[in-house]
Amino acid sequence: MSRRVHVLLAVLWSAAVVAALSAQAASPPDARIDDLIASMSVEEKLGQLQQLAGGAEGNYLPEQAELARKGLLGSVLNVRGAERVNTLQRMAMESRLKIPILFAFDVIHGYRTVFPIPLGESASWDPAAAERSAAIAAREAGAVGLKWTFAPMVDIARDPRWGRISEGAGEDTFLGIAFARARVRGFQGDDISRPDRVAACTKHFVGYGAAEGGRDYNTTDISEQVLREVYLPPFKAGIDAGAVTVMSAFNDLNGVPTSANPFTLTTILRGEWKFDGVVVSDYESVSQLVNHRIAAGDADAARQALTAGVDMEMVSRTYVTHGAELLKRGAWTMAQVDEAVRRILRLKTRLGLFERPYADPALEKTTLLTPEHARAAREIAARSMVLLKNEPGVLPLSKDTRSIAVIGPLGDDPVNMMGNWIGDGRKEDVVTLVAGLKAAAPAAHVTFAKGCDITGTSREGFDEAVRVARAADVVVLAIGEGEIMSGEAASRATLDLPGGQLDLVKAVVGAGRPVVAVLFNGRPLAIGDLVDAVPSVVEAWFPGTQGGAAISDVLFGDVNPGGKLPATFPRAVGQVPIYYNHKSSGRPAAPDNRYTSKYVDMPVTPLFPFGFGLSYTSFTVTDLQLSASTIRRDGQLRASVALRNTGPRAGDEVVQLYIQDVASSVTRPVRELRGFERVSLAPGASRRVEFLLTPAQLGFHNRDMQFVVEPGAFKVWVGTSSVGGLEGSFTVTE
Ligand code: GLC
């Protein structure tokens, strides 16, 4: 074809596009999107399905600039900073079709202001706190040009060997639902196009936390009944709360990897839940289908993933590399590709990117780590802490204490204080435990001795630690895991205090001074020896930027700890998986009967149960009242108790309601959390705490996978942990 004809065609094509684009201005988003799709080349469509990763420090790569100029880059991960985002965005906005790039980053528990790790924040049993921190994270992320976070992680985790238990809300579905909703609302608000809101992403869909052996990325084999009862509901809750994206996962689920699983990605997500948002793969999880050995090569991986329902491919490039060929040979249809493109363009429309593609550099200077954000981080971190043990007279400490020795590898460690997935948190902003104590008790002489490393068995620092302990009025131990020991690719085969820390504890206790232990960890730990060795233990998780200040607030009693465990603490790793809402078995463990389900060398009970946490005051729960003794299965039941603060100081208690379906067509857990409320009471004050039980809380999936409420007897307990509580009962009739 002659050059002249080429030029003429190009002019005609561009005129057609300009006409289409100008017509779009007035037309509603979907029509505008359809027009846009109609004008896109195959290469441009495939480009929208691609997310590439920028540099870890936040800049884009030269190739990405090239792709942006050609309008061939749908999304980038890790690129942030208003100026850099705008520079790359401008290239896309000057491309032929002017389709904006979607900028994503893992803002998991804060961007510059780092909040407690999600497992820690979930220990607050205060979803409003999670919504508040997610909203602050979104505000800071938006200020640096981000419009998509890969959070909340809503995987239920019953195995603390799995390092990613740190990223979610623990072992219970009901608690997980509450935090999934709250975090989605916090990130997205009511209008994701606002500059202070970002698209949320419920991940990792689905069942990732059930990895065999607690080993990350490992196989999962989950019955459909357990999938629907335990692992799917927090995703549904996040989507019902408005989550506009979902991330598929790495794990093989019952023989079909979740990034190529039509049952989860299409039948459930699209068919049952009517989700119309975007599904993004996890990092190279599409190309990893070859490692799973269900794809003969990248082209087959691409074929399966898009067909199953993965719209956007993260980092691996099978879609853009093989898409044209797959279309040519009919392995993909253009309708499939167009539907994925449509979802992505619709998301960009909802985010307001077509109208406002650029970040405001001025916002970046005024939005990060403001005093308000720092205050929130300190308050939420303190609310996340769990008092595991406190012998009389130890905690809270007096601010008149003359000398305080902080001993342990996490006592003055700004990096580990934040945990992992810290966004752009900076160690120079962190308040360490030493700094927090000094600020809280300026008259006290605060000394520090590391004593030992987090891992390793060297005892070289022990003598110095013991000397420093002997010279102090009280010792605060700062021990636990390094942040690198939980999170992604951080499974552990043991759950002990790492390295020689327990030996350090015993040496320091031997110095004869009062000792308090502060624990920093990303998972439940088997810390029975530690608990036996010291009179007081505070679970601080990885508390974030304001961690040291928050811990000091708790140690001095400025905040009375009210957190509760979101996951069971085992006595030993050999008990794992161990979780409160387990089944009865045909031979429930009975101490006096050998032939029952138990161990010969250890009790079956945990070290600390789900929902457990102490306080500096005391509470009573009395007078359980049920609104009826019988309800129809479409009825409702109110349960209430009287909560009283019977101790010397104001404090919070988390009142928890559990049910048991006494006999059902499918075996049910011995207990299931179905209500909770964190209540603050002054000394001597009391109030009634009320819960509403509806069919949604009483039902389950039967053998035919139908959600049903079956007639029969139910037990109910209301208390302050998953053990004990006031017991009642009621009957459900037809
Ligand atoms: C990682 C994680 C996922 C994260 C993504 C992007 O491998 O599995 O949680 O959002 O890649 O960083």
Query: Of 521, 548, 575, which closes a domain?
Result: 575
Output the residue whose Cα is nearest ligand 1's atom 3: 282
Is the pLDDT confidence value at 25 over 90? no
- pLDDT (average), residues 167-187: 98
Q: Where are the beta strands (DSSP E) in 636-711?
A: 637-645, 651-661, 672-681, 686-693, 700-701, 707-708
What is the position in ligand 1's atom list of the atom closest to the CA of 204?
9
Residue 11's pLDDT is what? 52
Would you state the structure tokens that stand for residue 507, as one six-digit string?
């040496």
Q: Ligand 1 center to residue 382 CA distance, Å?
A: 28
Confidence of residue 392 (pLDDT cuts 50, 70, 90): very high
> At a CB cut-off of 8 Å and minimum separation 6, what does 367 contact?
139, 140, 142, 143
Q: Say whether both 339 and 428 belong to one domain.
A: no
Q: Provide the greatest CA pair distance for the chain.
A: 95
Taking the C-alpha atoms of residue 643 and residue 224, their distance in angstroms, rounded to an integer, is 39
- The answer to whether residues 623 and 475 belong to one domain is no
Last residue of a domain, one of 363, 398, 422: 363
Q: Which of 287, 488, 491 to mutate to test the pocket of ligand 1 (most atoms within 8 A of CB)?
A: 488
Q: Whose CA is nearest to atom 1 of ligand 1?
A: 283
> What band does 12 get if pLDDT is binned at 50, 70 and 90?
low
d(CA 431, CA 437): 10
Q: Which ligand 1 atom minimizes the distance to the CA of 167?
A: 9
* Residue 704 resides in a domain: yes
pLDDT in tens, 597-633: 999 999 999 999 999 999 999 999 999 999 999 999 9
The number of the ligand 1 atom at minimal distance from the alpha carbon of 201 is 10
Rounded to the nearest angstrom, the distance between the alpha carbon of 484 and the centre of ligand 1 is: 15
Q: Rounded CA gap, 316 and 283, in Å? A: 7
Q: How far is the CA of 150 from the centre of ligand 1 (A)?
A: 7
Residue 591 belongs to some domain of the structure: no
Element holding 26 (H helix, E strand)? helix 3-26
Q: How many domains does the chain have?
A: 4
Give the mean model confidence (pLDDT) for residues 428-439.
Answer: 98
**For the domain that residue 164 is a member of, what is the CATH number?**
3.20.20.300
User: Which residue has tokens 């008149």?
Assistant: 400
Q: Is residue 492 included in any domain, yes or no?
A: yes
CA of 201 to the centre of ligand 1 (A): 11
3-state DSSP assignment of residue 490? coil
Q: Pick the catalytic residue from 282, 311, 413, 429.
A: 282
Q: Note whether residue 253 is domain-resident.
A: yes
Listing DSSP states for 407-439 in one string gives: ESTTTT-HHHHT-S--TT--GGG---HHHHHHH
- Residues 417-430: pLDDT tens digits? 999 999 999 999 99
Shared-domain flag, residues 4 and 16: yes
Report the Cα–Cα distance between both ends of the chain, in Å, rounded.
77
Q: How far apart are CA 442 and CA 599, in angstroms?
A: 51
Please indicate, yes or no, if residue 598 is contained in any of the structural domains: no
HSE-up of residue 221 (Cα within 13 Å, Cβ side): 3
Kind of pairing, strands 712-719 and 651-661? antiparallel
Alpha carbon 713 to its chain centroid, in Å, reads: 35
Q: Judge whether residue 19 has pLDDT over 80.
A: no
Same domain, 251 and 113: yes
pLDDT above 70 for 10: no
Per-residue pLDDT tens digits for 91-129:
999 999 999 999 999 999 999 999 999 999 999 999 999
Our mutation pick for probing the ligand 1 site, out of 246, 282, 284, 422, counting the most ligand atoms within 8 A of Cβ, is 282
Q: For position 436, which CATH number holds?
A: 3.40.50.1700
Give the amino acid at 554.
V
In a domain, 632, yes or no: yes
Whether the CA torsion 547, 552, 555, 557 is positive or negative: it is: negative
Q: Give per-residue pLDDT as tens, 138-158.
A: 999 999 999 999 999 999 999
Tell me if the bond preceding 371 is cis, omega within 30° of 0. no
Q: Residue 643: what pLDDT?
A: 98
Ligand 1 centroid from CA 314, angstroms: 9
Residues with CB under 6 A from ligand 1: 77, 106, 150, 203, 282-283, 488
Above 70 in pLDDT, residue 15? no
CA dihedral for 263, 340, 281, 276, sign (positive or negative)? negative
E strand or H helix at 440 = helix 433-440
Are 21 and 72 members of one domain? no
The band of 324, judged by pLDDT with boundaries at 50, 70 and 90, is: very high
For the chain, give the number of residues: 734
In sign, the C-alpha dihedral spanning 351, 356, 358, 360 is negative
Claim to verify: residue 56 and residue 29 sit in the same structural domain = no
Nearest Cα to 99, choosing from 190, 17, 28?
Answer: 17
What Å distances lie between residue 195 and 58, 142, 206, 647, CA to CA? 19, 6, 30, 46
Residues 356, 409: one domain? no
Q: Is 607 part of any domain? A: no
**Would you say residue 368 lies in a domain?**
no
Q: Are residues 18 and 133 in the same domain?
A: no
pLDDT above 60 for 346: yes
What are 675's strand-pairing partners?
657
Q: State pTM to two decimals.
A: 0.95
Q: What percent of the chain has pLDDT over 90?
A: 95
Best of 150, 279, 286 for a ligand 1 pocket test (most atoms within 8 Å of beta carbon): 150
CA of 283 to the centre of ligand 1 (A): 6
pLDDT at residue 244 is higher than 70:
yes
In the structure encoding, which two tokens stand for residue 169, read together? 């809300």
Pocket perturbation via mutation, ligand 1, pick of 283, 285, 314, 316 by most ligand atoms within 8 A of CB: 283
Distance 103 CA to ligand 1 centre (A): 15
Please tell me the residue having the least CA distance from ligand 1 atom 12.
Answer: 106
> Residue 717: which of 611, 601, 619 has the closest Cα?
611
Which of 575, 604, 638 is the last residue in one of the domains? 575
| Same domain, yes or no: 115 and 56 | yes
Domain that holds residue 464: 381-575
Helix (H) or strand (E) holding 136: helix 127-143
Distance of CA 299 to the CA centre of its chain: 33
If asked whether residues 170 and 208 sit together in one domain, one would say yes
CA of 48 relative to ligand 1 center, distance in Å = 19
Tell me whether residue 282 is one of the annotated catalytic residues. Answer: yes
Going from the Cα of 281 to the center of ligand 1, the distance in angstroms, rounded, reads 9
DSSP state of 614: B
Q: Dump pLDDT digits (tens) for 354-382.
A: 999 999 999 999 999 999 999 999 999 99
Of 51, 102, 106, the residue with max ligand 1 atoms within 8 A of its CB, to mutate for a pocket test, comes to 106
pLDDT reading at 1 higher than 90 = no
Q: Which residue has the tokens 């305080």?
A: 404
**CA-proximal residue: ligand 1, atom 6 (nearest):** 283
> Is the domain of 52 the same as that of 9?
no
Q: Of all protein residues, whose CA lies closest to atom 10 belonging to ligand 1?
A: 150
Ligand 1 geometric centre to CA of 176 (Å): 20
113: which 2 tokens? 């202001």
Residue whose CA is closest, atom 7 of ligand 1? 283
CA-250 nearest atom, ligand 1:
8
Whether residue 14 is predicted with pLDDT greater than 90 in this model: the reply is: no
Neighbours of 332 (CB within 10 A): 21
Kindly report the CATH number assigned to the domain that includes residue 717.
2.60.40.10
| Residue 636 and residue 521 share a domain | no
Please report the pLDDT score of residue 724 as a whole number: 97
Q: Is the model's pLDDT at 20 over the cut of 50? A: no
Cα angle value 521/526/527 (rounded, 5°): 80
Cα–Cα dist 400/440, whole Å:
11
- State yes or no: pLDDT of 3 exceeds 60: no
Do the beta carbons of residue 202 and residue 246 sit within 8 Å?
A: yes
Mean pLDDT of the chain: 96
